[in-house]
């Protein structure tokens, strides 16, 4: 389950068979046929889907996912059931798909599991032809510090129904196999190797463990655990695969930092990978497969059809209608290898999107600018958020820029927009984030004041001439009033923000969106 650390559009699918939204985890299974026109596969917001795991059976791809059911402003996972997307003609540009909704629920498959927490699972076909569902769920009763455990269910059909293949309890938890572990046991990935041997990896929060399984697909072969520490930035969501004798481990990477090859914030994950010459390693980090996407989390899966050498990466984004970081949707793109290297490396995947409709005319030209923070932006925030055309009602830190620093927040902050060509501007607005009242010197209150300047033709920063009487409003609102000024021609605009507080201690400043208005729409 690709999760985030907690801090101290047009629809691409037309439903052919209508179905009500499932609200209860006990509602019946449903089948929905739809035509996709690109990524994400199902983009109309009727069903959200996270943590995809593909399997190919008779040249048909089945993508298992959890169903995201969080509310529109809820910053928490609500995943109560697994569902499966099916297609015999999968393509990044679209195709015909069938969604099998409500395929399984934790508490109905595993008698020892609680309801909900249908986190990242994988279906694998065993040597006996049966299908095995490896699922992280929470135990209803446990003496362990963390209740997550990995169970295994089995079916004669990839679409189920699935029954517990190990009714006595999970095959992996903090207490089994003995001596157990102290990690959160989620995100299993399983590989049946060419010689029939079976391997399982799992883990999160930088911990990646592995065992070999017996060919019965449920019994831990040896209690000697393999701990992987060589995959740079490993956070969670491992995906184990093999191609032409080389083992590949794809995963959600989160090695945040100013020079990180992966992600600009501690919340955004990319997809990275490593290789090995044997299934249990040792593993060598190789690079990034997919840069950050619109969702803070990321989760890889890879498939190829009919034994061919055309591979696809499946992952999730928040790009569907009404999508959020907790209402994600499955996407897929082609994944290519460079066989001229040894071992063959994975080329970085180019993310594709379904065709969009014509953009609505707007005076706001901030999205066309390059955004820069003159101050060092604390790693949990993201300066790109100030002109992404989104004002979140309940944002996560990467959904807004902030100057807040636990050690000492600065008194003065500067944000700058730069355009590639001269633009005309006659107004701005700022949607501020705040979690403290005005005047506070802790947390993130509204700023004490702010103003904007433009770069004149002589290359000098010059104050704009306001035409209204409202000045620069500082209230935290998602619909900020426009600050109008005499039209200027410029290539750059900067906002100088002064934090509230005093006596050497200041609150942080948070900006959800900084609008830059041209005199006319375009």
Catalytically annotated residues: 51, 236
| 410-434 per-residue burial string, b: 16 or more CB within 10 A, e: under 16 | bbebebbbebeeebebbbbbbbbbb
Residues in the chain: 522
CA 318 → CA 44, 200, 327, 370, distances in Å?
12, 29, 6, 23
CB 488 within 8 A of CB 464: yes
Cis ω for the linkage preceding 293 (within 30 of 0): no
CA 517 to chain centre: 31
CB 423 within 8 A of CB 518: yes
φ and ψ of 3, to 5 deg? -120, 170
The distance between the two most distant Cα atoms of the chain, rounded to a whole number of Å, is 77
The encoded tokens of residue 389 equal 């055309």
For the CA atoms of 18, 24, 27, 31, what is the dihedral angle to 10 degrees? 30
Element (H, E) at 168: none
């Amino acid at each position: 389950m690709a999760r985030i650390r907690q801090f101290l559009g047009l629809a691409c699918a037309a439903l052919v068979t209508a179905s009500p939204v499932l609200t209860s985890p006990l509602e019946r299974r449903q089948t929905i046929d739809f035509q996709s026109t690109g990524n994400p596969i199902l983009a109309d917001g009727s069903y959200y889907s996270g943590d995809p795991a593909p399997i190919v059976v008779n040249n048909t791809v089945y993508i298992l996912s959890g169903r995201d059911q969080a509310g529109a402003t809820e910053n928490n996972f609500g995943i109560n059931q697994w569902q499966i997307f099916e297609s015999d003609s999968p393509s990044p540009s679209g195709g015909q798909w069938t969604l099998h909704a409500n395929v399984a629920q934790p508490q109905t498959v595993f008698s020892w599991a609680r309801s909900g927490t249908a986190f990242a699972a994988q279906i694998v076909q065993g040597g006996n032809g049966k299908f095995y569902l490896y699922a992280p769920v929470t135990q209803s009763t446990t003496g362990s510090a963390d209740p997550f455990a990995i169970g295994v269910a089995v079916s004669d059909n990839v679409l189920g129904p699935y029954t517990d293949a190990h009714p006595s309890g999970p095959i992996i938890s903090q207490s089994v196999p003995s001596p157990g572990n102290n990690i959160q046991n989620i995100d299993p990935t399983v590989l049946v190797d060419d010689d029939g041997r079976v391997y399982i990896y799992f883990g999160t929060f930088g911990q990646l463990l592995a065992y070999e399984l017996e060919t019965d697909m449920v019994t831990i072969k040896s209690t000697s655990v393999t701990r992987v520490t060589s995959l740079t930035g490993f956070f969670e969501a491992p995906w184990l695969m093999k191609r032409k004798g080389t083992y590949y481990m794809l995963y959600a990477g989160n090695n945040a930092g100013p020079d990180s090859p992966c992600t600009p914030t501690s919340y955004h994950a990319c997809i990275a990978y490593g290789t090995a010459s044997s299934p249990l390693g040792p593993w060598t980090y190789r690079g990034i497969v997919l840069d950050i996407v619109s969702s803070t989390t990321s989760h890889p899966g890879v498939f190829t059809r009919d034994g061919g050498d055309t591979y696809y990466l499946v992952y999730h984004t928040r790009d569907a209608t009404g999508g959020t970081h907790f209402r994600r949707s499955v996407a897929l793109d082609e994944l290519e290898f460079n066989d001229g290297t040894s071992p063959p490396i994975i080329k970085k995947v180019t993310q594709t999107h379904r065709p969009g409709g014509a953009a609505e005319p707007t005076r706001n030209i901030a999205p066309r600018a390059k955004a820069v923070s003159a101050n060092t932006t604390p790693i949990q925030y993201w300066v790109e958020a100030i002109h992404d055309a989104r004002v979140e009602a309940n944002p996560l830190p990467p959904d807004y820029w902030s100057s807040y620093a636990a050690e000492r927040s600065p008194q003065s902050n500067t944000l700058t927009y730069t355009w590639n060509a001269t633009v005309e501007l006659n107004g701005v607005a700022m949607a501020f984030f705040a979690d403290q009242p005005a005047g506070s010197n802790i947390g993130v209150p509204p700023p004490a004041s702010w103003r904007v300047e433009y770069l004149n033709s002589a290359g000098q920063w010059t104050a704009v001439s306001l035409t209204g009487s409202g000045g620069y409003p500082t209230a935290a609102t998602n619909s900020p009033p426009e600050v109008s000024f005499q039209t200027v021609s410029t290539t750059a605009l900067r906002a100088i923000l002064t934090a509230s507080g005093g006596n050497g201690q200041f609150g942080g400043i948070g900006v959800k969106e900084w609008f830059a208005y041209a005199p006319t729409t375009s």
